[in-house]
Structure 1
Amino acid sequence: MTTMKKPTTRRQFLAQTAAVSAAAAIPYHFTSAQESTKSKSKNEQLQFALIGVGGNGTRTAPVGKEFANLVALCDVDADHLRDGNQLLTGGKADTYSDYREVLSRDDIDVVQISTPDHWHAKILIEAMLAGKDAYCEKPLTLTIEEGKLVRRMQKETGRVVQVGTQQRSSFDKFNKALAIIAEGRIGKLKRMVVGIDGGGWSPEIPAVAVPDALDWDRWLGPTPEMPYRYLRHPSKEADKGYTNCHTQFRWWYEHSGGKLTDWGAHHIDIAMLGIAAAGQNNDPVSVDGTAKHAVDFKDGIPVQTDRYNTAQGFDLHVAFADGDVEMSIRHDVDNGILFEGELGRIFVNRGKLVGKPVEDLASNPLPEDAISKIYRGMPMKQNDRPAHWENFMYAIENRVQPISDVHSHMKMLNVCHLAGICCRLGRKINWDQSTEQVVGDELAHSMMSRPYREGYEIDMS
């Protein structure tokens, strides 16, 4: 039987703050292994719900089904909900259009949040207050201030939250690259180049009638009211057209941070972990550089509202408290991370790990525990998405921080958010890590948060 604690309800939360705060203080490093949750019978497994049944939800939920029972699905698009239920459960799961009905169910232990980015923080915070553990897709937040609130609520509720940055669970490439750095094989880290590709482009996209199956108001949620836009792409399927909704929401600052919080949330994450693995200080100090947009900006707000507005290209530079290391973020280099040290260089992405220090492993292999150290001593039985979910289940059963915890994730994601502010304002952004504030720029500081649309504020009751 699972050793997971009974979920904390909203009422219990207020009474148990002291106790769960102590639980949240459990150290990150642990070494005990146990039977994989995957091998448990269906009656022993936890029950989970999928909130957001679009493309990424249907890709990740089948992995989650190996470890927990999928009993409920929620989406504001009735077609997504119907098709997703048939694909994932053969039509057997309970379905909802309002995620609050899912959170109110005492029999649901875990939620997977696979909505568009602008919904992540609100649903996650309310899920933690409802006593649910959560697997939330990246990026965890739309703003820096949301991240502060998410981290505070995780500490106060003691819930386990795994962020969907599954590259942290890739043992054969990313963790091996970090182990090479940690073992000193490239020497002191000097420079990193992070390639994350350019953003999307669109022509003018007309405002059209909302599809019958879509609750557009609820899809927009906390973000500003705007018309639904769609234009058929001349060479793609109908559901891949130009739009400010499904599949293309990442190209709108209203809903996302573009490539900087999409691929950036993966590769900048590994780059910052690399600085830490080298024993150097990865506290960000500033972000500077240039960006290319297809729209004009006034005080950081897009002037044109009928086309994609996130950065199409960028050449950004991040400075850290360790002044000996710097990071470039570019759209015009290979997708992946180049680490340059005093003794050598390596390049890693999802397809390869290359460089002379990698070749030298044939004659001088890493110590047996090198990758285990990077993975915080947790059991490692699989790779990538399955490993990421298995690690999530392990963290739930042991009430410990998972490999992609909200705290280290947000330190990295703040760099992505600062890069986005830099792109929108076209100037250097200075950052004080000790106070987690933009300094010396009132407008940039104000962009650390965004107002929620009336009726869609975070429910902290």
Structure 2
Amino acid sequence: MKPQTRFNRRDFLQTATAATAAGVFIGTSSASHAQDSPNERPVFATIGLRNQGWTITDKSTKFADFAAFADVDANVLGMINEKLEKKTGKKAEGYKDYREVLDRKDIDAVMIAAPDHWHTKISVEAMLAGKDVYCEKPLTLTIDEGKLIEKIVKQTGRVFQVGTMQRTENQHRFLKAIALIREGRIGEIRKVTCGINGATGSPVIPAIDPPEGLDWDMWLGPAPKVPYRAGTEMRRGYGGGVPLHTNCHYAWRNWYETSGGQMNDWGAHHVDIATWALDASETGPNKVTPVSYSLPVEYKDGYPTVSDQYNSPTKFEIHVNMPGDIPMIITSEGDNGILFEGTKGRFFVNRGRLAGKPIEDLETNPLPEDAVEKVYGGAVSENHTANFIEGMRSREQPISDVWTHNRMLETCHLANIAIRLGRELNWDPTKREIIGDDEANSFLSRESRKGYEINM
């Protein structure tokens, strides 16, 4: 088990181990093929294929066979299947409805890269169908969704990896950063700053007919029923080939109805590493204060007053009071990455660099050989998927388990709620509720659209 394991996760592992020893697989309709046959390649399916869906599939073909794909856009489904055939020589069976994937007994695990508002429904139903799950971050749309996923992981004994791959990849820069802190190279931490970039608003986006091949109603799924919107300008670079301004495709991240803006997108990466470094993965903050922020549209009572423009924050500075009264700053300004400041020095880390005097000092005073492994909880896996499959075989939770992820993501969710309501929030990390603010607590959950409730 990893050293950052939570108490609830220990309970899960004890329950799962006892059940396995007794020949019982708890709460599932079928056991994992990968678990029963550790020398065989597991059989995967990917649900949600555009952009990150192909990215995680592509890097996973080294370790698993893909038998099925599901996407509500027939064009994407065909395109990704062609990519798979070109790389592996075989196509996957394609489906519009992910439930047909979950019905298949030959699928050991699903990789979920659908938009955020679909994550919880698909994850829960996949676990109840006997599948292990790899789900992209951010795992949930609300805090209460995270509690539900934790409950189902414990109930079913499934292995669940969240796609916060900075815990495993990026040349181990983030693991080295945490190792430096664990070894006391900057003394006691006094401040952590997470730079997660700002965003831009949008012009008024017209309602038009959805493109041919896209089932718009099913794409919306649990989200409120709204018309498809898209401008004429096309997106370039990563995520290209789709409208630049839309409430679908790549830009769904800019709408609270389907995501959480930059706070949940990049925040789910850097706040994750910062929380891990602060040994706060079993608790979280007690106060979240929106020092400054900019919203692209007017809000009333925490909700946007218009529906034809992006509505997530464009700029922000959030102060978070972490355990030990250590301040964590989440900001849209400055470099994308994490600045750790302590009593003996400071350093900066992101996906491209690890810099500062404590890093330079490693030339004459290197970290112990096992320092990174101690942070990771053992030998570092080849990549995030490899770590997931190792967990499938051992029936232990992988490095990005749901408990530590949800504790981190609660900070991001609370920051968004504080921005939407324009006030400081006091958080009880034991009860996992906002103190003395019924209106703010109403944002901890969200009702699914009729017909798209979670099938329990």
Q: Normalising by structure 2, what TM-score?
A: 0.89
- What does the per-residue CA deviation read over 1:213-232, in whole Å, with 9 as the maximum and x for residues that have no partner? 00000000001000000002
Aligned to 1:135: 134
Q: Given the superposition, is the C-alpha separation of residues 174 and 81 from structure 1 closer, same or farther in structure 2, using an over 3 Å criterion?
A: same
2:352 corresponds to: 351
Q: For 2:404 and 2:329, how far apart are their aligned partners in 1?
A: 20
Paired position in structure 2 for 1:14: none
For residues 371 and 265 of structure 2, the distance between their equivalents in structure 1, rounded to whole angstroms, comes to 29
Mapped pair 1:440 → 2:436? yes
Amino acid at match of 1:307: Q
Specify the code of the residue in structure 2 equivalent to 1:336.
G
Is the 8 Å Cα contact of residues 110 and 133 (structure 1) preserved in structure 2?
yes
Counterpart residue number, 2:66: 70
Could you say which residue in structure 1 is the equivalent of 2:387? 391
**SS of 1:400 mapped into structure 2:** coil
1:368 is aligned to 2:361? no
Deviation at 1:321, TM superposition (A): 3.0
Residue pair 1:196, 1:335 contacting (<8 A) in 2 also: yes
Q: Letter of the 2:294 partner, please give it.
A: K
Higher deviation after alignment, 230-239 or 294-303: 230-239
Show the counterpart of 2:308.
306
TM-aligned CA distance change 1:301 to 1:70, over 3 Å = same
Q: In structure 1, what is the equivalent of residue 143 of structure 2?
A: 144
In structure 2, what is the Cα distance between the partners aligned to 1:416 and 1:372? 28
The answer for the alignment partner of 1:22 in structure 2 is 15
Aligned counterpart in structure 1 of residue 324 of structure 2, from 322, 325, 337:
322
Q: Partners of 2:167 and 2:296 in 1: how far apart?
A: 33
Give a deviation string over 1:59-100, Cα, whole Å, max 9, x none: 110111111101100000000101111112346210100011
SS of alignment partner, residue 441 of structure 2: helix
Structure 2: which amino acid aligns with 1:304?
Answer: V
Q: What percentage of aligned pairs have identical amino acids?
A: 50
Quickly say closer, same or farther: Cα 1:42–1:80, change in 2 above 3 A: farther
C-alpha contact 2:141 2:259 (8 A) present in aligned 1 = yes
- Counterpart in 2 of 1:243? 246
Amino acid at match of 1:442: D
Shift of 1:233: 1.8
Distance in 2 (CA, whole Å) between partners of 1:419 and 1:394 is: 34
What value does the CA root-mean-square deviation take over the aligned residues?
A: 2.1
1:166 corresponds to which residue?
Answer: 165
8 Å contact 1:281–1:322 — kept in the other structure? no
Q: Deviations over 1:186-218 (max 9, x none)?
A: 111110110000123210000001112000000
Q: Could you give the per-residue CA deviations for residues 328-383 of structure 1, whole angstroms, max 9, x where no partner exists?
A: 01001110000001111010000000111111111111111110011111x3253x
Q: How far does residue 42 in structure 1 lie from its aligned partner after superposition?
A: 12
Contact kept in structure 2, 1:20 and 1:156, CA below 8 Å: no
1:8 aligned partner: none
Amino acid at match of 1:94: E
- Name the aligned partner's letter for residue 203 of structure 1: P
- CA distance, structure 2, for counterparts of residue 197 and residue 260 of structure 1: 9
Partners of 1:44 and 1:24 in 2: CA distance: 22
Aligned length: 422
Q: CA deviation at 1:126?
A: 0.6
Counterpart CA distance in 2 for 1:227 and 1:174 is: 41
- In the TM superposition, residue 238 of structure 1 has moved relative to its aligned partner by 5.0
The offset of 1:440, in angstroms, is 1.2
Instruction: Give the Å deviation of 1:405.
Output: 0.3
| Offset from partner CA, 1:157-207 (integer Å, 9 cap, x none) | 110011000000035310000000001111111101100001232100000
Give, in whole Å, the separation in 2 of the partners of 1:149 and 1:222.
16
More displaced 10-residue stretch of structure 1: 106-115 or 86-95: 86-95
Moved over 3 A (4+): 18-21, 234-238
Structure 1 range deviating more: 133-142 or 280-289: 280-289
- The 1:20/1:182 distance shift into structure 2, 3 A limit, reads closer
Q: Could you list the per-position Cα deviations for residues 295-350 of structure 1 after superposition, in whole angstroms to 9, with x for gaps in the alignment? A: 01111111111010000000100002311x11001001110000001111010000
Q: 2:453 aligns with which of 422, 444, 457?
A: 457
Q: Report the residue type matching 2:352 in the other structure.
A: G
Structure 1: give runs of 5+ residues left out of the alignment: 1-17, 27-37
Rounded to whole Å, the distance in 2 between the matches of 1:453 and 1:19 is 31
Match of 1:228 in 2: 228
* Structure 2: runs of 5+ lacking an equivalent: 1-10, 20-33
CA distance, structure 1, for counterparts of residue 282 and residue 126 of structure 2: 33
Work out the CA distance in 2 between the residues paired with 1:216 and 1:381. Answer: 38
Q: TM-score, normalised by structure 1?
A: 0.88
Output the amino acid matched with 1:422: A
Q: Secondary structure at the match of 1:201?
A: coil
1:13 aligned residue: none
User: 2:26: which partner in 1?
Assistant: none
Note if contact 1:395-1:402 (Cα within 8 Å) is conserved in structure 2: yes
**TM superposition shift of 1:43:** 8.7
Conservation of the 8 A alpha-carbon contact between 1:42 and 1:69: no
Name the counterpart of 2:81: 85
Partner in structure 2 of residue 187 of structure 1: 187
CA positional deviation for 1:281: 8.4
Give yes or no for contact 2:234–2:243 (8 Å, CA) kept in 1: no
Task: Kindly provide the amino acid, as one letter, of the partner of residue 58 in structure 1.
Answer: W
Residue of structure 1 in register with 2:3 after alignment: none
Residues 275 and 281 in structure 1, CA contact (< 8 A), matched pair in contact too: no
CA offsets 1:106-137 (integer angstroms, 9 cap, x no match): 11001000100000011001111111001100
Query: In the alignment, residue 291 of structure 1 is paired with which amino acid?
Result: Y
Aligned twin of 1:45: 41
Please, which moves more after superposition, 234-243 or 442-451? 234-243
Matched to 1:415, the amino acid is T
